[in-house]
Amino acid sequence: MGMPDHLDGPLAEFAALRREVDRRAVAQQQILVVQVLTSGALFVIAFWHASWAPWLLMVPFSSFLLCLASVAQATAIAAIVGYIRDVLEPAAEGLGWERYRQQVPYPFPFPRWSHPNLLLFGGVPGLALVLGLKPLVDEGPAPGNLAAWLVGALVAAYGAYLAGTSMTGRFVLRPGAPRAEPAPASRAQPET
């Protein structure tokens, strides 16, 4: 006994959208790897030679750009999941994963501040700024370095905010307002 024909379309669309979610989740993990590698390389450069410590001021900027890419992936995933939950699941009996997943508490068992997104996109740039501050204080702040440090602090704070909002689902970069279904044509009587 086969599946009813009216489910073929929604199930095929569901499978395609789940593949897209998986592809975007892999891209998000790759962004995290790039963040670890670039930040680690800049920390190694700065610790190798103390005179290269101003290189640490690049970490907040690279972290922010990678955070934007990660949040964009998370936002797209949220839009796809919302479509699956709100449009496809009601159309196809038996689909209910997204609705169920929304009702279950977030399974991260550690304090929220230790979430990898906050550590990578908030903590690492903050550490770089703290370590990059020492040469500025010791040698006297050059105007360019001080300005870069201040802008880096603002960028790091905003990156941490973005990472925090993406963890909670309250996205700053919203996927767009849901489209309203067109209203049925009214059957008003023509005027005579």
Provide the CB-side half-sphere exposure for 83 (13 A, CA): 19
The pLDDT of residue 183: 38
Per-residue pLDDT at 17: 93
Whole-model pTM: value is 0.77
Residue 184: per-residue pLDDT: 41
Residue 86 token pair: 């709100």
SS3 content of the chain, % helix, strand, coil (to 5): 75, 0, 25
d(CA 38, CA 52): 15
pLDDT value of position 5: 59
Query: What pLDDT shows up at residue 106?
Result: 64
Q: Per-residue pLDDT tens, the chain, 192 aa: give them.
A: 455 556 677 788 888 999 999 999 999 999 999 999 999 999 998 888 877 888 888 999 999 999 999 999 988 998 998 888 888 888 777 777 777 777 776 666 666 667 788 889 999 999 999 988 877 777 776 777 788 889 999 999 999 998 888 776 665 545 454 443 433 433 344 444
Question: How far is Cα 115 from Cα 113, in angstroms, rounded to an integer?
Answer: 6
**Closest to 151 (Cα-Cα) out of 60, 65, 62:** 60
Sequence-ordered alpha helix ranges (H) in 89-142:
89-91, 97-103, 116-118, 124-139
Query: Can you give the pLDDT at residue 188?
Result: 41
* Domain chopping of the chain, boundaries: 11-168
